[in-house]
Structure formats: structure tokens, C-alpha cells
Homo-oligomer: A and B are copies of this chain.
Amino acid sequence: MTTNATHLTHHLYPTIIAGGMGSRLWPRSRKSSPKQFLDLMGNGRSMLQEAYDRMTPLVPADHIYVITNREYVDMVRAQLPDVPAENIVGEPAARGSAAAIGLGAIHLLNRDPDAVMAVLTADHLIRRPDVLRDALVGGADLAQSGELITLGIRPTYPETGYGYIEMGDALGQFNGMEARRVRRFREKPDLATAQAFLEAGNFVWNSGMFVWRADVIMAQFQRFMPELHAALTGLQPALNGPDAAAAFDAFWMPLQGNVTIDYGVMEKADRVAVFPVDLGWHDIGSWAALLEVLPKDADGNVAHARHLHHDSSNVLVFSKDRLIATIGLEDMIVVDTGDVVLVMPADRAQDVKKIIQALQKRGLNEYLE
């Protein structure tokens, strides 16, 4: 952080979006305890706590906000005891990431008209949190001119599961971080397109992390999502008062659709910038991703369990209290929760959703909750 950076954090509010389900990490990630609340890394801290830990060197705990489902508010409070209760915002129903961000924005504006909002995720591993902090401070600087800033991850291989951002002209350095104009957002590409992006050199992965002034994002809602903007301004005066519940019923619940911030705002807005950053960023979106990022033991396995094996390598085993014995396995996932055992090759980890669908179809909700 540069020496003049401190004044930029006075109005900076890291806002962690932690409402998702993380169903591809079933059977550990469950409705009652989604992945952001799990100690997936086995280091004693949940993904949410790690997202919080990354911000405490930068801002005081009372600057940190969490937007989550109403049913997870108590869990967030328990996991982040130093965050004031009023900073933990529960949506009574999910209405998409644009609405979640808007809900955060009106909370911040009620507190600080000059609030700079850093939208953060709770489901990524970030090995270089110092770079993230530098980028947020740089973003807070650039945001003063009304820019919408997105953090872009420099791609290391032609991933087809992420959205990409095509970068244009340089906008200068902010807190030592390079900023570029965003030329275009690109949907998840096919492999040939992803390879072309990688070779072109001016494409980054869309991380889902953003920095902007809260009033600026509200102005974008007014322009591109007027119904959402109207609901938010209706809600804003009642937020922490006795009429909050009635206001949510009146303004929030009728919101239609689950519009993402990318589709609702970013792809349409004029002044969008990107900081291409090297965060040591990993999407912990699947068991295969966990197997890839977690440290291996001497035999090349990830054992978050008592694991006894013969001739097994690159196996991820998880169990709270059972012995997992494996023979002749390679590139496999074995997850034991109290009530479920899941076994699959790592390269089939995306198909966990097929099991979720089958459970839903058969009404076996006990294994989802």
C-alpha cells in the first residue's frame, strides 16, 4: 500500500456476498451449511472467515459487511463475532446478485454518502491477499471518478467455465496497480475461443469482485434496472427501523428474476475499468478444484480424514470420523459426511449436480438440507 493510501480506505467498505449454496461441493455443502461456512481448507477457518481475514489488515471490522440469506445471518454472526450485527444483512429471499449488491449499497449510503463499496466473494481461494488489498485501494482511488471497477484474473490456461473480460486502453496506475478500460464482457467461451483469448493476451477472467462508489452503482441501477432502483430507494429509509419487515414485503419480495450484476449493469455501463491482477486466485467451485489446490501429503493425496491406502495417488478423501481405506485409486474423490458417501473420479466432479437433481426429483431432501 502506498503511503497516501490510508485516506482511501476511510470510506472503503468490503462487502462480502455470501448467499450461495455451493451445491457442487455437496454432500459437505448443504442448505443448512453452504460451502462459505465450511472449513474447506482444513485450516480451522471457513471460506467466509478467510474472506474476512483478508480485509482486516485494510479496514476496521466495522467497515466489513456481509450480504447473505436471512437464514444464514446467525451463522455469519457466529463466525464473524467482531463484525457488528447491523453489518450482517440478510436477504429474505434471493433476487440475484444485482439486488444483493444494491441491498449492500443502500446500507452503506445510509451510513456514509461517500462510501466506496468493494464487492467480494467468499468462495475463492486467494493466495496473495496483499495484491487484493492493493487492488482494492487502487480501485477506491479510481472509483472517485465514477468508474465501475472489476478485478480481472490473468488466465493461466484456457478455462471454459468462466466469463472473460476483453481489455482495451490503459487508464494509468492506481496505488501501483494497472487499470485498463473494459472493451467487452464475454460469456463462458468454447475451448477454441478460450485458447484464442489466452493467446491474444488482453483477456482476463471475470472474478466477480468489484469496486465502485455506492452512489455510482445506484445511479447505474437507476439507468439500467429501474425497477430494482425503485425498490431499493423504497427500502432504504426503513432498513434498520421498526418498519423494515413491512418494507421488505412491499419492495423486495415483488422483485422479479435473478439478474446478475454482469448482465444487469456491467455489460451495459459506459465507464467500466478492470484491474488485471495476479491474486493466486482459485475458484473453489468443485471437489476437483479442492483436490487441485489443497496441499498433498507424502503420497500425493489430500487426506482430510484418517486415510489408509494401498497404491493410491491424487485422491481426495474427506471424513470427520471414519477411516477411509482406498486401494488402487487415482484421481478420485471420496467424501463421507455423516449420512452420505460420495465417490467419483475427479474429472466427473461437475456431475455432482446430477446427483442433486436426482435427490430433488425423488424428494430425498434430507440429504440436501
Q: Is the CB of A334 within 8 A of B341?
A: yes
Q: Which of A116-124, A141-149, A179-187, A317-325 contacts B (4 or more CB under 8 A)?
A: A317-325
Q: Does A352 contact B (CB under 8 A)?
A: yes
Of the listed stretches A128-136, A214-222, A242-250, A342-350, name the one at the interface; the rest are far from the partner chain. Answer: A342-350
The residues in A between 329 and 369 inclusive whose CB is less than 8 angstroms from any CB of B are 329, 332, 334, 336, 339-345, 347-348, 351-352, 354-355, 358-359, 362, 364, 367
User: Taking the nearest CB of chain B, how far is it from the CB of A339, in angstroms?
Assistant: 6
What B residues does A321 contact at CB under 8 A? 339
A327-B354 contact, Cβ under 8 Å, with A308-B359, A359-B308: yes
Chain B nearest CB: distance from A338 CB in Å? 8
Which residues in B have their C-beta under 8 angstroms from that of A327? 342-345, 348, 351-352, 354-355
In the assembled complex, the CB of A333 is this many whole angstroms from the nearest CB of chain B, namely: 9
Quick one: which of B27, B341, B345 contacts A328, CB cutoff 8 A?
B345
**Is A202 an interface residue, CB under 8 A from the partner?**
no
**Residues of A in contact with B, size category:** 35 or more
State the CA gap A311–B358 with chains docked (Å): 12
Partner of A311, one of B27, B309, B322, B351: B351
Residues of B within 8 A of A27 (CB): 325
Pairwise interchain contact A351-B328, C-beta atoms closer than 8 A? yes
Among A27, A324, A328, A359, max chain B CB count under 10 A is at A328
Say which residue of B310, B336, B348, B351 sits within 8 Å of A341 (CB atoms).
B336
Q: What residues on B are CB-neighbors of A351 within 8 Å? A: 310-311, 327-328
By Cβ-Cβ distance, the 3 closest A-B pairs, closest first, are A327-B344, A328-B348, A310-B354
22 A-B contact pairs sorted by A residue (CB < 8 Å):
A27-B325, A308-B355, A308-B364, A309-B355, A310-B351, A310-B355, A310-B358, A322-B340, A323-B367, A325-B340, A325-B341, A325-B342, A326-B342, A327-B348, A327-B351, A327-B352, A328-B344, A328-B345, A328-B347, A329-B343, A334-B341, A336-B341
User: Given A27-B325, A336-B341, 18 other A-B contacts at CB below 8 A?
Assistant: A308-B362, A310-B354, A310-B358, A311-B348, A311-B354, A321-B339, A322-B339, A323-B339, A324-B340, A325-B343, A326-B342, A327-B344, A327-B348, A327-B351, A328-B344, A329-B343, A329-B344, A332-B343
